[in-house]
Amino acid sequence: MQMSIVVPFRQSELLLVNHDGQPFVPMRPVVQGMGLDWKSQHVKLTTGRLAPVMVEITTTGSDGKQYQMTCLPLRKLPGWLMSIHPNKVKPELRENILAYQNECDDVLWAYWNDGEALNPRTTSPAPEAGGAVQCITLHYADRHFRVQVEGVQCWFCAADLARVLGMHAAPGVVRHLQPGEHGHRLFGKQRLIMVSQAGLERALTCARHERAEPFRHWLAERLRQVVAPLPLQPVQPAALPVPLSREQQAALRTLINCRLDALPEAQRTRAASTCWLALKSAFGCTYKKIPQGQFTEAVSLVAQLPLEGELLESAPGEPPVLSLDRYETEHLYLFMSHYASLFQHYNAMLAGARALGSPVLMEFFDRLWEAHGSFSVLDKHRATLYGCYRQALEKTGKPLWEQNGGYAQHLGDAPLR
Protein backbone atom coordinates (compact mmCIF):
# COMPACT_ATOMS: atom_id res chain seq x y z
CA MET A 1 0.00 0.00 0.00
CA GLN A 2 1.36 3.41 -1.05
CA MET A 3 0.61 6.86 0.38
CA SER A 4 0.03 9.48 -2.30
CA ILE A 5 1.60 12.95 -2.13
CA VAL A 6 -0.87 15.76 -2.82
CA VAL A 7 0.51 18.45 -5.14
CA PRO A 8 -1.60 21.63 -5.62
CA PHE A 9 -1.47 22.89 -9.20
CA ARG A 10 -3.78 25.45 -10.90
CA GLN A 11 -6.99 24.88 -8.92
CA SER A 12 -6.39 21.10 -9.02
CA GLU A 13 -4.73 18.57 -6.76
CA LEU A 14 -2.32 16.26 -8.55
CA LEU A 15 -0.77 13.20 -6.91
CA LEU A 16 2.64 11.55 -6.67
CA VAL A 17 3.28 7.95 -5.60
CA ASN A 18 6.56 6.35 -4.55
CA HIS A 19 6.74 2.99 -6.37
CA ASP A 20 9.99 1.01 -5.92
CA GLY A 21 11.86 4.23 -5.14
CA GLN A 22 10.70 6.01 -8.31
CA PRO A 23 8.07 8.77 -8.67
CA PHE A 24 4.85 7.77 -10.45
CA VAL A 25 1.97 10.06 -11.37
CA PRO A 26 -1.68 8.92 -11.11
CA MET A 27 -2.94 10.11 -14.48
CA ARG A 28 -6.63 10.65 -13.84
CA PRO A 29 -6.17 13.92 -11.84
CA VAL A 30 -3.77 15.21 -14.51
CA VAL A 31 -6.13 14.43 -17.40
CA GLN A 32 -9.16 15.87 -15.64
CA GLY A 33 -7.19 18.90 -14.48
CA MET A 34 -6.38 19.66 -18.13
CA GLY A 35 -10.09 19.44 -18.96
CA LEU A 36 -9.75 16.28 -21.10
CA ASP A 37 -11.95 13.18 -21.13
CA TRP A 38 -10.49 10.50 -18.84
CA LYS A 39 -12.05 7.47 -20.53
CA SER A 40 -10.59 8.19 -23.96
CA GLN A 41 -7.18 9.15 -22.54
CA HIS A 42 -7.15 6.02 -20.36
CA VAL A 43 -7.58 3.87 -23.49
CA LYS A 44 -4.71 5.69 -25.21
CA LEU A 45 -2.43 5.34 -22.19
CA THR A 46 -3.07 1.62 -21.67
CA THR A 47 -2.99 0.59 -25.33
CA GLY A 48 -0.55 3.04 -26.94
CA ARG A 49 3.22 3.45 -26.90
CA LEU A 50 3.27 4.13 -23.14
CA ALA A 51 1.37 0.95 -22.26
CA PRO A 52 4.55 -1.04 -21.30
CA VAL A 53 5.41 1.45 -18.53
CA MET A 54 1.91 2.04 -17.14
CA VAL A 55 1.38 0.59 -13.65
CA GLU A 56 -1.75 -0.01 -11.58
CA ILE A 57 -0.99 1.05 -7.98
CA THR A 58 -3.25 0.86 -4.93
CA THR A 59 -2.81 4.08 -2.97
CA THR A 60 -4.36 5.89 -0.02
CA GLY A 61 -5.80 9.20 -1.07
CA SER A 62 -6.00 12.44 0.88
CA ASP A 63 -9.46 11.37 2.14
CA GLY A 64 -8.01 8.23 3.74
CA LYS A 65 -9.72 5.89 1.25
CA GLN A 66 -7.94 3.34 -0.94
CA TYR A 67 -7.94 3.69 -4.71
CA GLN A 68 -6.60 1.67 -7.63
CA MET A 69 -4.87 4.23 -9.85
CA THR A 70 -3.40 4.06 -13.33
CA CYS A 71 0.07 5.59 -12.98
CA LEU A 72 2.78 6.78 -15.34
CA PRO A 73 6.48 7.19 -14.39
CA LEU A 74 7.14 10.90 -13.80
CA ARG A 75 10.08 10.79 -16.22
CA LYS A 76 7.60 9.85 -18.99
CA LEU A 77 5.09 12.57 -18.19
CA PRO A 78 6.66 15.33 -20.40
CA GLY A 79 6.46 13.04 -23.44
CA TRP A 80 2.78 12.38 -22.85
CA LEU A 81 2.03 16.06 -22.19
CA MET A 82 3.61 17.05 -25.49
CA SER A 83 1.47 14.46 -27.33
CA ILE A 84 -1.56 16.66 -26.60
CA HIS A 85 -1.95 19.21 -29.42
CA PRO A 86 -3.47 22.47 -28.10
CA ASN A 87 -4.74 23.40 -31.57
CA LYS A 88 -6.92 20.27 -31.67
CA VAL A 89 -8.84 20.92 -28.44
CA LYS A 90 -11.56 23.36 -27.52
CA PRO A 91 -10.32 26.99 -27.48
CA GLU A 92 -11.28 27.42 -23.82
CA LEU A 93 -8.92 24.55 -22.87
CA ARG A 94 -5.81 25.72 -24.71
CA GLU A 95 -4.42 28.06 -22.06
CA ASN A 96 -4.77 25.42 -19.36
CA ILE A 97 -3.16 22.70 -21.51
CA LEU A 98 -0.23 24.97 -22.38
CA ALA A 99 0.26 25.69 -18.68
CA TYR A 100 0.36 21.96 -17.93
CA GLN A 101 2.85 21.36 -20.75
CA ASN A 102 5.14 24.18 -19.61
CA GLU A 103 5.03 23.77 -15.84
CA CYS A 104 3.33 20.58 -14.61
CA ASP A 105 6.37 18.28 -14.71
CA ASP A 106 8.56 20.97 -13.10
CA VAL A 107 6.16 21.30 -10.18
CA LEU A 108 5.92 17.54 -9.67
CA TRP A 109 9.71 17.13 -9.76
CA ALA A 110 9.98 19.99 -7.25
CA TYR A 111 7.64 18.25 -4.83
CA TRP A 112 9.39 14.92 -5.34
CA ASN A 113 12.86 16.31 -4.57
CA ASP A 114 11.94 18.66 -1.69
CA GLY A 115 11.20 16.96 1.63
CA GLU A 116 9.20 20.05 2.72
CA ALA A 117 6.94 20.11 -0.31
CA LEU A 118 3.96 18.69 1.56
CA ASN A 119 4.02 21.52 4.10
CA PRO A 120 1.58 24.19 2.83
CA ARG A 121 3.13 26.79 5.16
CA THR A 122 6.54 26.53 3.52
CA THR A 123 7.40 29.84 1.85
CA SER A 124 10.19 31.03 -0.35
CA PRO A 125 13.11 32.91 1.24
CA ALA A 126 12.30 36.48 2.11
CA PRO A 127 13.91 39.20 -0.02
CA GLU A 128 16.55 41.46 1.42
CA ALA A 129 15.31 44.53 3.24
CA GLY A 130 14.12 47.10 0.77
CA GLY A 131 14.72 44.79 -2.18
CA ALA A 132 12.09 44.52 -4.93
CA VAL A 133 11.19 41.13 -6.46
CA GLN A 134 10.85 40.96 -10.24
CA CYS A 135 9.77 37.86 -12.19
CA ILE A 136 11.13 38.07 -15.74
CA THR A 137 10.60 35.61 -18.61
CA LEU A 138 13.32 35.73 -21.27
CA HIS A 139 13.53 33.63 -24.43
CA TYR A 140 16.58 31.63 -25.48
CA ALA A 141 16.60 29.34 -28.54
CA ASP A 142 12.79 29.69 -28.82
CA ARG A 143 12.28 28.47 -25.24
CA HIS A 144 11.35 30.55 -22.20
CA PHE A 145 13.92 31.13 -19.48
CA ARG A 146 12.57 32.41 -16.17
CA VAL A 147 14.60 34.73 -13.95
CA GLN A 148 13.71 36.15 -10.54
CA VAL A 149 15.51 39.33 -9.47
CA GLU A 150 15.46 39.87 -5.73
CA GLY A 151 17.38 42.85 -4.38
CA VAL A 152 20.87 42.48 -5.79
CA GLN A 153 20.55 38.73 -6.40
CA CYS A 154 19.26 36.79 -9.39
CA TRP A 155 17.64 33.35 -9.27
CA PHE A 156 17.15 31.16 -12.33
CA CYS A 157 14.59 28.41 -13.03
CA ALA A 158 16.36 25.04 -12.76
CA ALA A 159 14.03 23.33 -15.26
CA ASP A 160 14.70 26.00 -17.90
CA LEU A 161 18.44 25.79 -17.24
CA ALA A 162 18.30 21.99 -17.64
CA ARG A 163 16.74 22.34 -21.09
CA VAL A 164 19.38 24.87 -22.13
CA LEU A 165 22.22 22.59 -21.00
CA GLY A 166 20.71 19.45 -22.54
CA MET A 167 19.90 17.76 -19.22
CA HIS A 168 16.81 15.68 -18.54
CA ALA A 169 15.14 17.85 -15.89
CA ALA A 170 15.76 20.11 -12.92
CA PRO A 171 17.23 17.31 -10.72
CA GLY A 172 20.00 16.90 -13.29
CA VAL A 173 21.10 20.47 -12.52
CA VAL A 174 20.69 20.70 -8.76
CA ARG A 175 22.44 17.42 -7.89
CA HIS A 176 25.77 19.13 -8.69
CA LEU A 177 25.03 22.14 -6.46
CA GLN A 178 25.60 22.95 -2.81
CA PRO A 179 22.56 23.27 -0.45
CA GLY A 180 22.57 27.07 -0.43
CA GLU A 181 22.75 27.31 -4.23
CA HIS A 182 19.20 26.15 -4.99
CA GLY A 183 15.77 26.11 -3.40
CA HIS A 184 12.04 26.42 -3.99
CA ARG A 185 10.75 29.91 -4.65
CA LEU A 186 7.47 31.43 -5.79
CA PHE A 187 7.55 32.57 -9.40
CA GLY A 188 4.20 34.29 -9.83
CA LYS A 189 1.74 31.69 -8.52
CA GLN A 190 3.99 28.70 -9.20
CA ARG A 191 6.52 27.18 -6.81
CA LEU A 192 9.67 26.29 -8.80
CA ILE A 193 13.17 25.05 -8.14
CA MET A 194 15.40 28.10 -8.58
CA VAL A 195 19.19 28.31 -8.80
CA SER A 196 21.28 31.15 -7.37
CA GLN A 197 24.01 33.00 -9.27
CA ALA A 198 26.69 30.83 -7.65
CA GLY A 199 24.67 27.73 -8.51
CA LEU A 200 24.28 28.91 -12.10
CA GLU A 201 28.05 29.33 -12.44
CA ARG A 202 28.69 25.87 -10.99
CA ALA A 203 26.12 24.30 -13.33
CA LEU A 204 27.62 26.04 -16.37
CA THR A 205 31.12 24.91 -15.36
CA CYS A 206 29.93 21.29 -15.12
CA ALA A 207 28.04 21.41 -18.44
CA ARG A 208 29.37 20.87 -21.94
CA HIS A 209 31.38 23.85 -23.17
CA GLU A 210 29.59 24.17 -26.52
CA ARG A 211 26.25 24.61 -24.74
CA ALA A 212 27.35 26.60 -21.70
CA GLU A 213 29.48 29.37 -23.25
CA PRO A 214 26.98 30.76 -25.81
CA PHE A 215 24.30 30.77 -23.12
CA ARG A 216 26.62 32.44 -20.59
CA HIS A 217 27.33 35.37 -22.95
CA TRP A 218 23.68 35.67 -24.00
CA LEU A 219 22.45 35.73 -20.39
CA ALA A 220 24.99 38.34 -19.30
CA GLU A 221 23.95 40.64 -22.16
CA ARG A 222 20.22 40.14 -21.57
CA LEU A 223 20.52 40.79 -17.83
CA ARG A 224 22.38 44.04 -18.53
CA GLN A 225 19.48 45.14 -20.75
CA VAL A 226 16.57 43.96 -18.61
CA VAL A 227 17.94 44.49 -15.11
CA ALA A 228 20.07 47.55 -15.81
CA PRO A 229 18.88 49.58 -12.81
CA LEU A 230 19.92 46.88 -10.36
CA PRO A 231 23.59 46.70 -9.34
CA LEU A 232 24.14 43.00 -10.00
CA GLN A 233 27.22 41.63 -8.30
CA PRO A 234 29.65 39.62 -10.44
CA VAL A 235 29.34 35.88 -10.14
CA GLN A 236 32.37 34.25 -8.59
CA PRO A 237 33.22 30.79 -9.93
CA ALA A 238 32.30 28.21 -7.29
CA ALA A 239 34.78 25.58 -6.24
CA LEU A 240 34.15 22.31 -8.05
CA PRO A 241 33.77 19.05 -6.12
CA VAL A 242 37.05 17.17 -5.66
CA PRO A 243 37.06 14.26 -8.15
CA LEU A 244 38.07 10.70 -7.34
CA SER A 245 41.72 10.19 -6.45
CA ARG A 246 43.90 7.96 -8.61
CA GLU A 247 43.63 5.20 -6.00
CA GLN A 248 39.83 5.39 -6.05
CA GLN A 249 39.78 5.39 -9.84
CA ALA A 250 42.02 2.31 -9.87
CA ALA A 251 39.80 0.58 -7.32
CA LEU A 252 36.73 1.23 -9.47
CA ARG A 253 38.47 -0.12 -12.58
CA THR A 254 39.64 -3.20 -10.66
CA LEU A 255 36.10 -3.90 -9.46
CA ILE A 256 34.74 -3.67 -13.00
CA ASN A 257 37.52 -5.92 -14.36
CA CYS A 258 36.80 -8.52 -11.67
CA ARG A 259 33.16 -8.59 -12.68
CA LEU A 260 34.09 -8.89 -16.36
CA ASP A 261 36.50 -11.77 -15.69
CA ALA A 262 33.61 -13.81 -14.30
CA LEU A 263 31.70 -13.54 -17.60
CA PRO A 264 32.05 -15.52 -20.83
CA GLU A 265 34.53 -13.80 -23.11
CA ALA A 266 31.89 -13.07 -25.75
CA GLN A 267 29.88 -11.04 -23.20
CA ARG A 268 32.67 -8.92 -21.75
CA THR A 269 32.71 -6.04 -24.25
CA ARG A 270 29.00 -5.36 -23.88
CA ALA A 271 29.16 -5.76 -20.10
CA ALA A 272 32.03 -3.24 -19.89
CA SER A 273 29.95 -0.69 -21.82
CA THR A 274 27.03 -1.37 -19.47
CA CYS A 275 29.17 -0.62 -16.40
CA TRP A 276 30.69 2.61 -17.71
CA LEU A 277 27.39 3.91 -19.09
CA ALA A 278 25.63 3.16 -15.80
CA LEU A 279 28.20 5.26 -13.92
CA LYS A 280 27.91 8.15 -16.38
CA SER A 281 24.11 8.04 -16.27
CA ALA A 282 24.01 7.94 -12.46
CA PHE A 283 26.55 10.71 -11.78
CA GLY A 284 26.29 12.80 -14.97
CA CYS A 285 30.02 12.63 -15.74
CA THR A 286 32.86 10.25 -16.54
CA TYR A 287 34.06 8.06 -13.69
CA LYS A 288 37.21 10.16 -13.21
CA LYS A 289 35.10 13.24 -12.39
CA ILE A 290 32.83 11.54 -9.84
CA PRO A 291 33.12 13.49 -6.55
CA GLN A 292 35.12 11.75 -3.84
CA GLY A 293 32.15 11.97 -1.50
CA GLN A 294 30.19 9.69 -3.86
CA PHE A 295 32.86 6.99 -4.21
CA THR A 296 30.93 4.56 -1.99
CA GLU A 297 27.78 5.01 -4.11
CA ALA A 298 29.78 4.35 -7.29
CA VAL A 299 31.26 1.13 -5.88
CA SER A 300 27.83 -0.04 -4.73
CA LEU A 301 26.34 0.67 -8.15
CA VAL A 302 28.99 -1.36 -9.99
CA ALA A 303 28.86 -4.23 -7.49
CA GLN A 304 25.08 -4.61 -7.77
CA LEU A 305 24.66 -3.96 -11.50
CA PRO A 306 23.16 -7.02 -13.29
CA LEU A 307 25.25 -8.06 -16.30
CA GLU A 308 24.23 -10.20 -19.25
CA GLY A 309 25.87 -13.63 -19.17
CA GLU A 310 26.38 -13.55 -15.42
CA LEU A 311 25.72 -16.75 -13.47
CA LEU A 312 23.26 -15.64 -10.84
CA GLU A 313 23.06 -17.30 -7.45
CA SER A 314 19.92 -19.28 -6.79
CA ALA A 315 17.29 -17.52 -4.72
CA PRO A 316 16.60 -18.95 -1.23
CA GLY A 317 14.38 -21.99 -1.47
CA GLU A 318 15.26 -22.68 -5.13
CA PRO A 319 17.41 -25.64 -6.24
CA PRO A 320 21.03 -24.79 -7.08
CA VAL A 321 22.07 -24.29 -10.70
CA LEU A 322 23.73 -27.43 -12.10
CA SER A 323 26.98 -27.13 -14.08
CA LEU A 324 28.83 -29.99 -15.80
CA ASP A 325 32.54 -30.38 -16.45
CA ARG A 326 33.86 -31.67 -19.81
CA TYR A 327 33.99 -35.26 -18.63
CA GLU A 328 30.35 -35.19 -17.49
CA THR A 329 29.28 -33.34 -20.64
CA GLU A 330 30.82 -36.04 -22.84
CA HIS A 331 28.95 -38.76 -20.99
CA LEU A 332 25.71 -36.83 -21.38
CA TYR A 333 26.39 -36.66 -25.11
CA LEU A 334 27.07 -40.43 -25.26
CA PHE A 335 23.91 -41.19 -23.30
CA MET A 336 21.85 -39.08 -25.72
CA SER A 337 23.57 -40.76 -28.70
CA HIS A 338 22.56 -44.20 -27.39
CA TYR A 339 19.00 -43.02 -26.84
CA ALA A 340 18.80 -41.51 -30.35
CA SER A 341 20.02 -44.77 -31.91
CA LEU A 342 17.56 -46.80 -29.84
CA PHE A 343 14.61 -44.56 -30.70
CA GLN A 344 15.27 -44.96 -34.44
CA HIS A 345 14.00 -48.56 -34.12
CA TYR A 346 11.09 -47.69 -31.83
CA ASN A 347 8.27 -48.59 -34.25
CA ALA A 348 9.79 -51.91 -35.33
CA MET A 349 10.52 -53.01 -31.75
CA LEU A 350 7.06 -51.88 -30.59
CA ALA A 351 5.41 -54.07 -33.23
CA GLY A 352 7.39 -57.08 -31.96
CA ALA A 353 6.45 -56.33 -28.36
CA ARG A 354 2.77 -56.17 -29.27
CA ALA A 355 3.03 -59.52 -31.07
CA LEU A 356 4.51 -61.07 -27.91
CA GLY A 357 1.78 -59.53 -25.78
CA SER A 358 4.21 -58.81 -22.93
CA PRO A 359 2.96 -56.22 -20.39
CA VAL A 360 6.55 -55.63 -19.23
CA LEU A 361 7.72 -54.79 -22.76
CA MET A 362 4.71 -52.52 -23.31
CA GLU A 363 5.55 -50.66 -20.08
CA PHE A 364 9.14 -50.30 -21.32
CA PHE A 365 8.05 -48.75 -24.61
CA ASP A 366 5.64 -46.42 -22.86
CA ARG A 367 8.51 -45.11 -20.73
CA LEU A 368 10.76 -44.87 -23.81
CA TRP A 369 8.16 -42.71 -25.56
CA GLU A 370 7.70 -40.44 -22.53
CA ALA A 371 11.48 -39.99 -22.26
CA HIS A 372 11.57 -38.62 -25.80
CA GLY A 373 10.12 -35.33 -24.53
CA SER A 374 13.03 -34.85 -22.10
CA PHE A 375 15.45 -35.87 -24.86
CA SER A 376 14.04 -33.15 -27.13
CA VAL A 377 14.70 -30.50 -24.45
CA LEU A 378 18.35 -31.53 -24.07
CA ASP A 379 18.73 -31.92 -27.83
CA LYS A 380 18.49 -28.10 -28.17
CA HIS A 381 22.10 -28.03 -26.88
CA ARG A 382 23.29 -30.64 -29.39
CA ALA A 383 25.93 -28.40 -30.96
CA THR A 384 27.50 -27.54 -27.58
CA LEU A 385 27.56 -31.15 -26.40
CA TYR A 386 29.01 -32.46 -29.65
CA GLY A 387 31.61 -29.66 -29.69
CA CYS A 388 32.83 -30.70 -26.23
CA TYR A 389 33.00 -34.33 -27.33
CA ARG A 390 34.95 -33.54 -30.52
CA GLN A 391 37.36 -31.25 -28.63
CA ALA A 392 38.48 -34.17 -26.49
CA LEU A 393 39.04 -36.37 -29.55
CA GLU A 394 41.04 -33.69 -31.39
CA LYS A 395 43.37 -33.07 -28.45
CA THR A 396 44.09 -36.64 -27.35
CA GLY A 397 42.77 -38.96 -30.07
CA LYS A 398 40.46 -40.68 -27.59
CA PRO A 399 37.36 -39.67 -25.63
CA LEU A 400 37.46 -38.37 -22.08
CA TRP A 401 35.79 -41.43 -20.60
CA GLU A 402 38.61 -43.59 -21.96
CA GLN A 403 41.28 -41.20 -20.64
CA ASN A 404 39.75 -41.40 -17.18
CA GLY A 405 39.24 -45.17 -17.05
CA GLY A 406 35.64 -44.89 -18.18
CA TYR A 407 33.09 -47.63 -17.87
CA ALA A 408 31.54 -47.76 -21.38
CA GLN A 409 32.62 -48.74 -24.84
CA HIS A 410 32.92 -46.08 -27.51
CA LEU A 411 30.01 -46.62 -29.92
CA GLY A 412 30.72 -43.90 -32.48
CA ASP A 413 31.03 -40.14 -32.70
CA ALA A 414 28.30 -39.23 -35.17
CA PRO A 415 26.13 -36.23 -34.27
CA LEU A 416 22.74 -36.90 -32.71
CA ARG A 417 19.99 -37.47 -35.23
User: Could you write out the DSSP letters of every residue in 262-294?
Assistant: TS-HHHHHHHHHHHHHHHHHHHSS-GGGSBGGG
Per-residue pLDDT, 134 = 81
Band (124; pLDDT cuts 50, 70, 90): very low
Q: What is the pLDDT of residue 413?
A: 42
Please determine, for residue 14, whether its predicted confidence score (pLDDT) is greater than 50.
yes
Of these ranges, 170-179, 246-255, 309-318, the one predicted with the greatest mean pLDDT is 246-255
Using CA atoms, how far apart are residues 161 and 182, in angstroms rounded to an integer?
Answer: 12
**Rounded to whole angstroms, how far apart are CA atoms 307 and 269?**
11
- Asked whether the beta carbons of 158 and 143 are under 8 A apart, the reply is no
142 pLDDT higher than 70: yes
Query: For the chain, give me the number of helices (H) and strands (E)?
Result: 17, 10
Predicted confidence band at 394 (pLDDT cuts at 50, 70, 90)?
Answer: low
Q: What does the pLDDT read at residue 27?
A: 92
Does 3.10.260 match the CATH number of domain 2-113?
yes
> Is residue 43 exposed (0-12), middle (13-18) or buried (19+ Cβ within 10 Å)?
exposed
pLDDT in tens, 148-167: 887 778 889 888 888 888 87
Residue 104 has pLDDT above 50, yes or no: yes
User: Are 309 and 267 a contacting pair, CB within 8 Å?
Assistant: yes
| Mean pLDDT, rounded, for 12-22 | 81
Average pLDDT rounded to a whole number, residues 29-34 = 90
* pLDDT tens-digit series, residues 217-250: 888 888 877 665 444 444 455 456 788 888 888 8
Q: What is the predicted pLDDT for the residue at 71? A: 92
- Give dist(CA 192, CA 157) in Å, integer: 7
Residue 396 pLDDT grade (very low, low, confident, very high; cuts 50, 70, 90)? low
| Confidence label for 11 from pLDDT (cuts 50, 70 and 90) | confident
Tell me the C-alpha distance between 173 and 383, whole Å: 52
| 415 or 18, greater pLDDT | 18
Query: Which helix H or strand E contains 114, and what residues bound it?
Result: none
Mean pLDDT confidence for 90-103: 86
User: Mean pLDDT of all residues in the chain?
Assistant: 75
Question: Above 70 in pLDDT, residue 350?
Answer: yes
Between residues 9 and 248, which one has the greater pLDDT? 248
Alpha helices in 227-264 (DSSP H): 246-261
Question: Would you kindly state where each structural domain of the chain is located, as residue ranges?
Answer: 2-113, 133-226, 246-304, 326-403
pLDDT of residue 125: 44
Average pLDDT of span 314-329: 61
Residue 280 scores a pLDDT above 50: yes
Query: Is the predicted pLDDT of residue 7 greater than 60, yes or no?
Result: yes
Residue 412 pLDDT greater than 50, yes or no: no
Q: What is the mean pLDDT of residues 333-341?
A: 80
Burial class, 309, CB count within 10 angstroms (exposed 0-12 / middle 13-18 / buried 19+): middle
pTM of the model: 0.33
pLDDT band at 169 (very low <50, low <70, confident <90, very high): low
**pLDDT category, 128, cuts 50, 70, 90?**
very low
pLDDT at 4: 67
Angstrom distance (rounded) from CA 136 to CA 146: 6
Q: Which helix (H) or strand (E) holds 146?
A: strand 143-150
User: Residue 117: its pLDDT value, please?
Assistant: 37
Per-residue model confidence as pLDDT tens digits over 42-93: 998 988 888 889 999 887 665 667 778 899 998 888 888 888 888 888 888 8
Does residue 116 register a pLDDT over 50? no
Any idea which of 257-261, 280-284, 321-325 has the lowest mean pLDDT?
321-325
